Amino acid sequence: MNSSPLSRRRLLQSSAFAAVATSLHHRLSAADVAAGSELKGRINHSVCKWCYSKIPLDDLCTAGKAMGLSSVELVDPPDFPTLKKHGLTAAMVSFPTIAGPSDPKVGRIENAFNDPANHDLLIQAYEPLIKASAEFGAKQVICFSGNRNGMDDEVGLKNCAEGLKKLLPIAEKHKITLVMELLNSRVNHKDYMCDKSAWGVALCKEIGSENFKLLFDIYHMQIMEGDIIATIKRDHQYFAHYHTGGVPGRAEIDETQELHYPAIMRAIVETGYKGHVGQEFIPKREDKLASLKQGVQICDV
């Protein structure tokens, strides 16, 4: 079909405009999804403090509450007054550390419950944290397995169970759940023992207490084993908490990465889960709070 140069120019201009408009729409939807809309209330939203370390906690609380958060997590007792001021809870309290004979920070990810030499020290460290968390009104405190350091997984499981069983009477007394996080050992936490959901579930069964469960970190478990939705459906009774994160790279959880979080959140809701989902991605965009708001909206199914 013949067309005049002017018609072709107009067609090209209109096509270019449409492309720009489409691109702008996608950028806006990525940064400001459903701005101002009401949350559906099927997911309780939280955020991990450490991902926004350059934002003062007071400011993070203010912004978070405005976008629908009810929790800021992985906080320590000195942070509790700030959260209380804003009417927020801590869905997951951070871990304590204590000086050991060869490690000044026993209790950290790399050196925790799978080493029997740490057990008495960990009880000393966790007891005051559990009490302070309960007094604040928090319900969950995080814990870790520690690295393998050549240890067999079955031995490590028995060691973790032994140490946690010593601590659990204190947690049960204060109505606190100890929650061990599942972390990947391929990219971020080399040699970490609790790096597969099956190992964590076996530990839960060995301990046999409702006051010990797992933190199912979706980012970490996608890296280690995938099959996220099927695992949630099968083992959700052992999962006390969930974390998000984009794969690969742990950035925003939008269309730039391989996980489809709306479907994952729907699977979580369908299990009857009533706890919080903590945003634990590291925002790459300049407007980090806009990225957080986007994450909340993506997960609000």
pLDDT of 17 reads 33
Three-state SS for the chain is CCCCHHHHHHHHHHHHHHHHHHHHHHHHHHHCCCCCCCCCCCCEEEEEHHHHCCCCHHHHHHHHHHCCCCEEECECHHHHHHHHHCCCECCCECCCCECCCCCCCECCCCCCCCCHHHHHHHHHHHHHHHHHHHHHCCCEEEECCCECCCCCHHHHHHHHHHHHHHHHHHHHHCCCEEEEECCCCCCCCCCECCCCHHHHHHHHHHHCCCCEEEEEEHHHHHHHCCCHHHHHHHHHHHEEEEECCCCCCCCCCCCCCCCCHHHHHHHHHHCCCCCEEEECCCCCCCCHHHHHHHHHHHHCC
pLDDT (tens digit, 9 = 90+) per residue, 116-139?
999 999 999 999 999 999 999 999
Q: Write out pLDDT tens, residues 221-276.
A: 999 999 999 999 999 999 999 999 999 999 999 999 999 999 999 999 999 999 99
- Residue 244: the pLDDT is 98
pLDDT along the chain (301 residues), means of 10: 43 38 36 56 97 97 98 98 98 98 94 98 98 98 98 98 98 98 97 98 98 98 98 98 97 96 98 98 97 98 96
